[in-house]
Amino acid sequence: PTVVDFFDSNLRGSQTGFEIELIELPSNSNWIGKSLAKVDLRRATGASVIGILREEERIISPGGDFTFEIGDKIIFIGNLEQIQAIEKLIF
């Protein structure tokens, strides 16, 4: 229940809360063919990748060696500012 309460109270779109966002990797992204470690998203934005949807595959908490492919749907967690920074990096 504590974890559920944490998510419930923080996913309300408030200034102090965080967001979970799904963004599909476009074919022109410079992330294509790069590893999660190489992209260094956490250092660049403060946000974290919590999962990847690749066709029928679900990858939970991918490691640094995970390599991005066209069409990957990336699930991020972070505050609004961090998510907006990710969008600028991907597109």
* Entry pTM: 0.83
pLDDT tens for each residue of 12-61:
655 557 888 999 999 999 999 999 999 999 999 999 999 999 999 999 99
By the 8 A CB rule, do 49 and 41 touch? yes
Q: Which of 51, 44, 26 is nearest to 85 (CA)?
A: 44
How many other CB atoms are found less than 10 A from the CB of residue 90?
19
